[in-house]
């Protein structure tokens, strides 16, 4: 495997950079008449088409976390990890039909604004500060660090800090132009991501075919994967028994089979896609039909993502098991970079461009969300009530710059120990502790008129406390098996653990119970409850057809690989 880049690789990457930067500048110049309009800067209000919204959602979602982390889980678990993507497609349908109408009807532009409108200012401020810390010190840092490490490994391993600064500058070039520039450049980023990702997958399958003597054929290579790793092509991981190996137990801890579909994976996806400023911001400036179509378009693209980010991991597993591949880093997270080492000149540059596109789009989207929350929900409300539109846009740009500088400082020497924890695990660990409380607060706030402000505060606290309890303390103090859960010994942590998805489901159940009980002590209809009517949720025939097609495709995939 050759890991050094040649002139053709550099040429492909430079062309990619020029196209994205040039297109972004052209978009910026076109909107310069609204340069100091804060809603245009933060939301691209009314200017993103459905395809730009859908592409931007995917570009912001797919990063090195997916390319490296999900490919690694493909190596370890197999196709079961695709559930994150395919349940996301289901979740996007739910968001498009039921969540987005509530946001748009009530003119919600930020998630803290939703909390203030529905509950009170205290809840909004608490969560605004929390989201800022989470986005800067968990999401932004991990995207930057994991992305720099991934690309550094592909180009020889000697340029980590240079790559880190390069990614940050590239993202700043895009994000300082505002959401419209981000949204439309994301269309190119997604195109590069998909073309480069599919090229990598195609080459990986043909490499399998070559090494197993079935010819330079991707379809034949895929059949080899199914024949040589049949356990990697089942969506449901069986519950361990007394006869199960430690490897089987570790797989179940990572993705607890059918139990995951009853618990955590829905909370993860609905919270991420429906209650997350970083994601929903793309659709909040559009009209309802455009927003819905864009979100459903993103759902279609999610169906494709396992082919790009998961299949190379299974290919790496089969090649490694047969002795045809030496893992570059010796762990599952090195699966994707190990496969890229096989690629010929030019295609390696395209694959690095695809990985860079995913990283830069995520960085740009994240800093824009940080800037939006700080400027509109903190600065404007508490420090700049009389500031004009120009001042708000300048504040937003300064916030973008400061957030990126902080991310660089905290990742320069890995002060947060992201490398030791693992980027994928790091993000899941810290966002997962708060997800049950946040999702319960949004869900009840939207659709149960009795939910109160005190219940929202109690819900966030309960969700966090229950998440910590079930993840860290329950097996030790309540035992390894109760009527609520079964814990298993983890070879990586050297302790008994409850599967993460089940912990999240339990925390969510207790949070909902707490919020309902507190709200029952309040008025039958909270004065701040949203006014809902059935017309908000009606679908046009074309939209309904899109929904049905996504359902049919996912159903067929589950029937085939159950």
Contacts for 419 with CB less than 8 Å, ≥ 6 apart = 145, 149
User: Does residue 103 register a pLDDT over 80?
Assistant: yes
Whole-number pLDDT of residue 474 = 93
Say whether 519 sits in a helix, a strand or coil.
helix
For the beta carbon of residue 545, count every other beta carbon within 10 angstroms: 12
Contacts for 469 with CB less than 8 Å, ≥ 6 apart = 507
CA 145 – CA 442 distance, rounded (Å): 31
Examine residue 462 and state whether it is found in any structural domain, yes or no.
no
Separation in Å, CA 259 to CA 80, 255, 495: 13, 9, 21
Hey, what are 240's tokens?
């361990």
Residues 503-531 pLDDT 10s: 999 999 999 999 999 999 999 999 999 98
Examine residue 369 and state whether it is found in any structural domain, yes or no.
yes
> What average pLDDT does the structure give for the chain?
85
Query: What kind and span of H or E run contains 490?
Result: strand 488-490
Whole-number pLDDT of residue 419 = 60
Contacts for 452 with CB less than 8 Å, ≥ 6 apart = 119, 518, 519, 522, 526
CA 38 – CA 192 distance, rounded (Å): 30
Hey, what are 405's tokens?
């500088």
User: Does residue 112 register a pLDDT over 60?
Assistant: yes
Whole-number pLDDT of residue 46 = 62
Contacts for 235 with CB less than 8 Å, ≥ 6 apart = 79, 80, 82, 83, 558, 561, 562
CATH number at residue 172: 1.20.1730.10
CA 186 – CA 178 distance, rounded (Å): 12
Whole-number pLDDT of residue 37 = 60
Q: What average pLDDT does this structure show over 45-67?
A: 79
CA 492 – CA 272 distance, rounded (Å): 27
CB contact at 8 A, 83 and 70: no
Q: Find which of 5-14, 181-190, 538-547 is predicted with most confidence, using mean pLDDT.
A: 538-547
Whole-number pLDDT of residue 43 = 64
Q: List 486's β-bridge partners, or say none.
A: 481
Whole-number pLDDT of residue 33 = 45
pTM (2 d.p.): 0.87
CA 258 – CA 235 distance, rounded (Å): 9
Exposure of 520 by Cβ count < 10 A (0-12 exposed, 13-18 middle, 19+ buried)? exposed
Residue 341: closest CA among 154, 170, 470, 121: 154
Whole-number pLDDT of residue 94 = 94
CB contact at 8 A, 31 and 47: yes
Contacts for 186 with CB less than 8 Å, ≥ 6 apart = 52, 55, 56, 58, 59, 60, 361, 365
Examine residue 33 and state whether it is found in any structural domain, yes or no.
no
Residues 302-353 pLDDT 10s: 999 999 989 999 999 999 888 888 776 567 777 887 887 777 777 778 878 8
Exposure of 5 by Cβ count < 10 A (0-12 exposed, 13-18 middle, 19+ buried)? middle
CA 60 – CA 63 distance, rounded (Å): 7
CA 112 – CA 120 distance, rounded (Å): 10
CA 200 from centroid of its chain's CA atoms? 21
User: Does residue 8 register a pLDDT over 50?
Assistant: yes
Examine residue 559 and state whether it is found in any structural domain, yes or no.
no
Candidate from 97-111, 262-276, 329-343, 544-558 with smallest mean pLDDT: 329-343
State the alpha helices, DSSP H only, in 275-346. 277-280, 288-309, 311-321, 335-340
Examine residue 396 and state whether it is found in any structural domain, yes or no.
yes
Examine residue 527 and state whether it is found in any structural domain, yes or no.
no
Number of domains in the chain: 1
Hey, what are 120's tokens?
């009170």
Residues 178-190 pLDDT 10s: 777 777 777 887 8
At residue 17 the predicted structure's pLDDT band, cuts being 50, 70 and 90, is confident
Q: What percent of the chain stands above pLDDT 90?
A: 33
Q: Find which of 53-62, 68-77, 229-238, 271-280 is predicted with most confidence, using mean pLDDT.
A: 229-238
Whole-number pLDDT of residue 354 = 81
User: Does residue 421 register a pLDDT over 60?
Assistant: no
Hey, what are 96's tokens?
């498009």
Whole-number pLDDT of residue 334 = 77
CB contact at 8 A, 274 and 56: no
Whole-number pLDDT of residue 1 = 47
Angle between helices 50-61 and 347-372 (to 10 degrees): 100
DSSP 81-92: GGHHHHHHHHHH
Examine residue 533 and state whether it is found in any structural domain, yes or no.
no
Examine residue 562 and state whether it is found in any structural domain, yes or no.
no
CA 90 – CA 299 distance, rounded (Å): 7
> 397: domain range?
7-24+48-417
Angle between helices 160-175 and 347-372 (to 10 degrees): 60
CA 553 – CA 562 distance, rounded (Å): 14
Separation in Å, CA 177 to CA 90, 285, 335, 399: 32, 16, 36, 13
Whole-number pLDDT of residue 388 = 77
């Amino acid at each position: 495997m050759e890991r050094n880049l040649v002139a053709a690789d550099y040429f492909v990457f430079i062309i990619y950079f020029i196209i994205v930067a040039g297109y972004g500048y052209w978009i910026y110049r076109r909107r310069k008449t609204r340069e100091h309009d804060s809603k245009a800067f933060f939301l691209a209000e009314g200017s993103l088409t459905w395809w730009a919204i859908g592409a931007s959602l995917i570009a912001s979602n797919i990063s090195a976390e997916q390319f490296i982390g999900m490919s690694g889980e493909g190596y370890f678990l197999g196709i079961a990890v695709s559930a994150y993507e395919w349940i996301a497609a289901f979740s996007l349908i739910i968001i498009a039909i039921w969540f987005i109408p509530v946001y748009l009807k009530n003119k919600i532009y930020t998630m803290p604004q939703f909390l203030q409108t529905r509950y009170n200012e205290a809840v909004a401020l608490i969560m605004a500060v929390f989201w800022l810390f989470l986005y800067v010190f968990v999401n932004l840092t991990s995207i930057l660090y994991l992305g720099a490490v991934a690309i550094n490994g592909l180009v020889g391993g000697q340029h980590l800090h240079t790559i880190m600064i390069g990614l940050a500058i590239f993202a700043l070039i895009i994000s300082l132009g505002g959401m419209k520039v981000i949204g439309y450049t994301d269309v190119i980023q997604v195109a590069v991501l998909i073309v480069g990702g599919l090229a990598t997958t195609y080459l990986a399958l043909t490499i399998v075919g070559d090494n197993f003597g079935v010819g330079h054929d991707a379809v034949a290579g895929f059949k080899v994967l199914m024949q040589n790793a049949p356990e990697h092509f089942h969506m449901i991981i069986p519950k361990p028994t007394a006869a199960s190996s430690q490897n089987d137990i570790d797989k179940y801890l990572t993705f607890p089979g059918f139990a995951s579909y009853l618990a955590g994976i829905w909370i993860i996806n609905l919270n991420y896609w429906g209650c997350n400023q970083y994601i929903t911001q793309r659709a909040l400036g559009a009209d309802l039909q455009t927003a819905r179509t864009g979100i459903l378009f993103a759902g279609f693209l999610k169906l494709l993502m396992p082919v790009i980010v998961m299949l190379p991991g299974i290919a790496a597993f089969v090649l490694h098991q047969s002795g045809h591949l030496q893992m570059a880093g010796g762990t599952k997270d090195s699966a994707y970079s190990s496969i890229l080492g096989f690629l010929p000149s030019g295609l390696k540059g395209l694959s690095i461009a695809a990985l860079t596109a995913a990283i830069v789009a995520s960085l740009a989207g994240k800093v824009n969300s940080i800037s939006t929350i700080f400027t509109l929900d903190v600065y404007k409300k508490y420090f700049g009530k009389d500031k004009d539109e120009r001042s708000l846009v300048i504040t937003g740009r300064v916030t973008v710059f400061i957030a990126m500088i902080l991310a660089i400082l905290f990742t320069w020497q890995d002060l947060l120990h992201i490398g030791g924890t693992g980027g994928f695990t790091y993000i899941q660990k810290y966002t997962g502790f708060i997800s049950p409380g946040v999702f319960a607060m949004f869900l009840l706030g939207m659709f149960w008129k009795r939910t109160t402000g005190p219940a929202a505060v109690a819900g966030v606290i309960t969700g966090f406390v229950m998440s910590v309890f079930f993840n860290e303390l329950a097996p030790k103090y309540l035992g390894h098996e109760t009527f609520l859960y079964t814990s298993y010994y983890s070879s990586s942590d050297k302790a008994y653990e409850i599967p993460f998805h089940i912990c999240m489901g339990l925390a969510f159940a207790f949070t909902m119970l707490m919020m309902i009980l507190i709200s029952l002590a309040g008025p039958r209809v909270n004065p701040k409850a949203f006014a809902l009517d059935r017309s908000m949720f009606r679908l046009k025939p074309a939209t309904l057809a899109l929904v049905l097609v996504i359902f049919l495709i996912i159903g067929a995939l589950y029937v085939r690989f159950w």
